[in-house]
Homo-oligomer: A and B are copies of this chain.
Amino acid sequence: MLRNIARMQSQARALGVDLRPHVKTSKCIEVARAQVAAGARGITVSTLKEAEQFFAAGMTDILYAVGISAHRLPQALELRRRGCALKIITDNVQSARAIAEFAREHSATFDVMIEIDTDGHRSGIEPESQDLLAVGTLLHEAGMRVHGVMTHAGSSYELDTPEALAAMAEQERAGCVRAAERLRAAGVPCPVVSVGSTPTALSARDLTGVTELRAGVYVFFDLVMHNVGVCATDEIALSVLTTVIGHQREKGWAIVDAGWMAMSRDKGTARQKVDFGYGQVCDESGQVISGYVLTGANQEHGIVACTSASDLQIDQRFPIGTRLRILPNHACATAAQFPQYQVLDENGAVSAWDRFYGW
């Protein structure tokens, strides 16, 4: 994990931008502190609960990167009044108006970023859209601080070649910078240009015009990122420790006590180069056992099997009581199933770090 943090930080430094890690992956104070210690400037969150928790831990520069809903504005304002430099985002005129009206009613102001759509995968305003200027001028004229523009090229998760990833990173950069230029030309200040996703952040060759990079899952990495091509399996810093509790020998199955409640239901590698089922099997020390994956999962049962050919001696390979480690498809989803991380230091000593969940 510390190597992953250092890697992304040095990437941001090499590209000449700030790094604002997305802490939704870990939801853990200690992990975010390690990111800040490495040089992160501010954090990104996906819920106001995360904002509350990290603010309580002393982090004040927080971007809430999900389009604000009007009914959440009181909570956002309360955080700001307590000293949190919270930034909120919007991508439409109605929400921008709701922010402006709420701010006026409460004699408040908000730092607002405008969300830009640079890859068509989810939210945001297209860089050339008229709505961009409508939202920008509405916020600016209502006295809000337009903190900048932000985008997330989440469709990078669907790519798996360095060339395609570099092209997507450039598309993300160019679109977001273009949106900033249009706002500035229309008289709307737009100091910050924020882009990122783990794949594009690690694939960008030039970020001219960008001021800030955001990325989340790189802190742990996972099998989806491995298939995308931005990490090796031995860089995956999160795994689920499990025990063999039974076999169905004639089917080539070992039954382990980690099912989808432990791994999550995420099958994100199913449509990628390599389908890891519910996760890659490793020995207890974390060495990949090639060809063995969690092929099936019930709530508390997982099925370990060989993907190339049925292993009819799996009961001898993995006897009852064998401890295995499963690498996750998607670190954000797997981590969310656990109240704590069991953290190994360099000497193998274990400590517990809490994580939170909910909204």
Contact = CB atoms under 8 A, between A and B. Distances in A.
Contacts of A67: 245-246, 255, 257
A123 B66 contact: no
Interface string A228-247: 00000000000000010111
A245 B66 contact: yes
A58 interface: no
Contacts of A260: 266, 333
A95 B339 contact: no
Interface bracket on A: 35 or more
Interface in A281-315: 298-301, 303
Copies in the complex: 2
A92 interface: yes
A330 B298 CA distance: 12
Contacts of A154: 298
Nearest to A330: B265
A317 interface: no
B336 A261 contact: yes
A120 to B, nearest CB: 8
Nearest to A266: B265
A46 B92 contact: no
Contacts of A98: 320-321
Contacts of A47: 300
Interface stretch (A68-76, A102-110, A183-191, A200-208): A68-76
A37 to B, nearest CB: 25
A280 interface: no
Given A122-B255, A246-B67, A257-B69, A299 B358 contact: no
A91 interface: yes
Instruction: Determine which residue in A67, A71, A120, A255 has the highest number of CB atoms from chain B within 10 A of its CB, and name it.
Output: A67
B336 A300 contact: no
A152 to B, nearest CB: 9
Given A122-B255, A320-B95, A69 B336 contact: no
A69 B257 CA distance: 8
A269 B319 CA distance: 35
Given A120-B251, A262-B359, A264-B264, 6 more contacts: A69-B245, A95-B246, A123-B245, A123-B248, A265-B265, A340-B358
